[in-house]
Every structure is written in structure tokens, then in C-alpha cells.
Amino acid sequence: MTQDVWSEQGTTPDAIEAALREMLRERHAANEALAPARVLNLVVIVDRSWKGEIANRLERVGRYHASRTILCAVEEGRKTLDAVAVMNYDEPSPGVVGVMHEQVEIDLGVDALAGLDTIVDPIVVSDLPTMIWCPHGHDEALEALRHMVDVILLDSDDVADPADALARAADLLSSAYVVDLAWLRTTPWRERLAASFDLPEQLEMLFELDSLAIRHQPNSGASAVLLAGWLASRLGWKVAPLRSDNSSPPHGTAQGPKGPVEIELDPLEQEAPGLAGVTAACGSRYSLSLDRGRGGLRARERINGDEREWQVLGASRGEGGILGEGVRQALLRDPTYGPALGAARELSS
């Protein structure tokens, strides 16, 4: 990877934008086969002291780099803007187009957050969708940019109380498309549940489910309740708040079209964030359990007393892969998140 770098202390948004434009012009003039990626702007608001950690996470997204990443590092007491702009590219082989990604880091003070749109707006690439991610909070910055962003990236599992996290997601969903990493952690589980119930015999069972147990890492309660909300919204269950006390995990009863459905969310210690397993059953006739395993999920199915177990193949994406998927999802639209979020809020209220 080759880098062109520009930096300036006490700079302005116009100077940053002009520097980016000049770097692109110079690089393209030097090698016409180099062209700027033009897919997505990503604006990230972080605490300056944790800037490195977030930059590392962004580096691990694999091929899903935004075209232009603008990292705003917020520092108490700072009065000026200091910026570094970097153009990243690999020299292309003959006959192949090389892609350049731009990264801008701006150090700014807390006082600048209320007017952050006047700093960021001149720097984003026009006509590209813009995504914002505030992993350290900074609600003031998010509010300032809300009118100019198309997509908000968040992680509902980052908030201690899933109910608060989901309420926040629902609020943001009213003004922009929301990509929730907690939701993306459920994707392989949703795909596998959909596939497991796709055969005609299993599809019949799907409409007759009477119990659902979701096992999850203790810090991933939002993912668990989103998965329950997804099933509820897809299957037309009337849901009510789950009950919880010191001796039992959150549990409750939803009303399915064919009878009550017992729902339970079980925290389970595991290293990786996200879900650990799910069991869906209808009485003693049928149950399906999917549990995290090596090289995929371990499936266990019981039909009328006969039990079978097998491996469902799939590599773990890791947290880097989930963040990369979050960036990629900025360009897609999942119509099932909103209804799932609505049902999850009912369950967690």
C-alpha cells in the first residue's frame, strides 16, 4: 500500500477539501490507471484518546473501505482544527485500474460539535451516500449531521440496556436508514433459520412454533431480542414485554396465530459477541437447535423423537467482518429491520 499524505495545523474545511482535490489530481496525472473509489462517505466521530483503536477497527474491515473516511477526533478544550489527509492506493498492474481511498483525520474541540456539519459538509464527496458512526456517543455531533447523512451506523449491543439501545435506534430510523451491528450479528442465524424451515414439512412446523430460546453473550442482549423480534414480526406473533428477575433470564409469552409461544433469552458466557445458539420447537413433535461451533453452526433436529445432528458450514466473520458488513450494508436496504425492531422494543420495554 502506498500513501500520499498532506497535513496542516489550524486548517479549514476548504483547505482540506482543496488538498484532497489536489492530491487526487496529482496522483491521477502521475498514473492515469489510478482512480478514486466513489462508493460511500463514512464520517466517524470518536474521542481523540480512542482514535487509534477505532482506526484499527476500520482497518480490519477488509475490502469494505469507504471511499472517503472522515474521522473526527474530539478533544476537550481544543480550539483549532488540525487535519491529516491520506490517499491510500496500490500501484496497479499494467492494464488494470487501481483504486484510491481517501482518509481524513480531523482533530477538533467539543465546542465545534454543534456546528460539525459546517466542517464535514464541504469535505464529503457530493452525490455519494454518507454514513455516520459515533462509537463513543457524541449525540451532539450526530444531531448536527443528521440532516446531511443518509445512513447511521450504530451498535445496539454497545448500550448496557437493550431497551434504551432499541429506543435510540427507532428514533434514528425515523430520519435515516439505520445499519445496526447488533442486527448484523443475527444475519447468519436468520439465514439458517430461514433455510431450516424452507422444506415443506418444516415450513408447517414454523407456523406452529410454541417455544423459542435464544442464547447470547451477556453483552449482546440487543442482538438476542432483535432476533426474537424478527421471528415475531415475520410470523405475526403478538408480543408483550418479557419478564426478568434475579433468578431467571428474560422470558415471556407471545401469542402466535396458532397458540402461545414461550420466549426466553439466555445469557451465556462466550468470547465472541453476538448469539450463541437458538432453539425453536413445537411441543414434543419438533425442535431445531442451532449452536455456534467450529467452522459453522452445529444443528440438532428432533422430529417425533428421532434426533439428528450435523454441521452447517460457514466461517465466522469476526468483529472486523461485521463492521465491514455494516459499511457494505449502507448501500442496501433491509425491509425487515424496522418491523423486527418494533417487535423487539415491545419485548424489551
Q: By CB under 8 A, is residue 207 in contact with other proteins?
A: yes
End-to-end CA distance of the chain: 48
Residue 67 C-beta: closest distance to other proteins, Å: 8
Which 8-state DSSP code applies to residue 31? Answer: -
Q: Which of 239, 261, 265, 281 binds other proteins (CB under 8 A)?
A: 239
Strand segments, DSSP code E, in 166-305 are: 177-180, 211-216, 243-245, 248-256, 259-267, 275-282, 286-293, 296-303
Q: By CB under 8 A, is residue 311 in contact with other proteins?
A: yes
Q: By CB under 8 A, is residue 197 in contact with other proteins?
A: yes
Element (H, E) at 73: strand 68-75
Q: Which of 238, 251, 266, 291 binds other proteins (CB under 8 A)?
A: 238
Grid cell listed for 147 = 440532516
Q: By CB under 8 A, is residue 301 in contact with other proteins?
A: yes
Residue 312 C-beta: closest distance to other proteins, Å: 5
- Alpha-carbon gap, residue 83 to 66, rounded angstroms: 18
Q: Which is nearer to other proteins, 167 or 303 (CB)?
A: 303
Q: By CB under 8 A, is residue 35 in contact with other proteins?
A: yes
Q: Which of 55, 170, 268, 303 binds other proteins (CB under 8 A)?
A: 303
Cα dihedral value 324, 330, 336, 337, nearest 10: 70
Q: What Å distances lie between residue 105 and 7, 85, 86, 173, CA to CA?
A: 9, 6, 9, 27
Which stretches of the chain bind other proteins, using CB under 8 A? 35-40, 63-65, 95-97, 99, 188, 190-201, 203, 206-207, 229, 231-239, 257, 294-296, 299, 301, 303, 306, 308, 310-316, 327-328, 331-332, 334-337, 339, 342-343, 346
